[in-house]
Amino acid sequence: MADKVYAAVAVAPERTAVQALDLPEIGEDEGLLKVETVGVCGTDVSVYRQLKEPRILGHHVIGYVAKIGARAAQRWGVREGDRVAMEEYIPCGQCDKCRTGLYRSCDFTDSKRGGLRYGNTPLHVAPGLWGGFSQYMYLHPNAVLHRMPAHVKAVEAALTLPLANGFEWMCIEGRVGVGSTVVVLGPGQQGLACVLAAKAAGAEKVICVGRRTSLRRLELARELGADEIVNISEEDLIGRVREMTGGEMADVVIDVTSGGTEPITQALHLAKKRGQVLWAAYKYQAIPAFDADEVVAKTLTIKGLRGHSYESVEMAIRLIASGRFPIWVMNSHDYPLERTHEALQTAGGRGEPNPLLVTVSP
């Protein structure tokens, strides 16, 4: 193995440079991952546009264990050559959140508090290889790995974490099951993951909602199992869902749209009495005209959601490996390492048209 590794380093807002970095020495509790492919996440795009310090982005990582210490191999149950999916979290493993399975909320992996997280840790933090847009990535002693079957296509494997979010939000938090009616607001990567998870869980009717500009994604939602789609640029959302559900409305409504606040209030109207409203997208603004009385009158349950758990990642891997759904259709663009800037621009709507799952394959 060479002493140097090439990585696409985000060096300034919306500027990337491919740099040669040192490969670290690996101790008994550490490892090194040879990166196969990386899905570009909306978080990567946001960090790239507001970059404060150089770092290697990319945290939806699939790769092969290239080097591993003896204690790490025993702890993770893997050996050199094994294919794995990485979680972005690097938790402490000791706090109450970690001990109860909520390690995504551990302060040690909270990048906003200076914690360690794959794809969002500055380059100056040794050994620097904290992101997937690189030939190799450092495996911290507290890294969270999952075995990935060899037969799974790389572009499908790269959907592991988005799909894990879908299972977390739909099945674990939303308790979607056989006979459920679900409305998914937003047909982006996370919305389609929710469609897949809901159908895999046995939902009877899944309705995916988007605008005219998202028609291709709405069509993909149908391919991935959605029973109905609603184009709100041309159709009345509340009326159409009422028609589709025979007036019953939805057991579960989830908002995964970016930007606008209207879906927040729409979700309250779309849910049936004693239904659940799930919010899984930041709005970065106050919500005007929020009708708390409707929440009380319909005895709604409202949850704010983020991230995934170990269990939901395993659920995602099992579904991907089953071949039950044509998950590969979600991959729209794949770029080599030297075109990482283009990958980030495309994923952010400023590059090639019609992006969905954009990947970088070093």
For 343-349, what is the mean pLDDT? Answer: 96
| Res. 259: pLDDT tops 80 | no
| Res. 2: pLDDT tops 80 | no
Are 66 and 1 spatial neighbours (Cβ–Cβ below 8 Å)? yes
* 348, two tokens: 């952010």
Dihedral class, residue 289 (left if φ above 0, else alpha if ψ from -120 to 50, else beta): left
**pLDDT tier at 24, thresholds 50, 70, 90:** very high
The pLDDT tens digits for 48-91 are 999 999 999 999 999 999 999 999 999 999 999 999 999 999 99
Among residues 43, 41, 48, 46, which one has the least CA distance to residue 8? 48
- 138 versus 261: the higher-pLDDT residue is 138
* 73, two tokens: 């191999």
The total number of residues written for the chain in this structure: 362
Dihedral class, residue 249 (left if φ above 0, else alpha if ψ from -120 to 50, else beta): left
For 193-200, what is the mean pLDDT? Answer: 98
The Cα 144–Cα 250 span in angstroms is 35
Integer angstrom CA distances of residue 240 from 181, 237, 346: 14, 5, 33
- The CA dihedral of 250, 254, 260, 263, to the nearest 10 degrees, is 10
| Res. 176: pLDDT tops 90 | yes
What is the pLDDT of the chain when averaged over all its residues?
Answer: 96
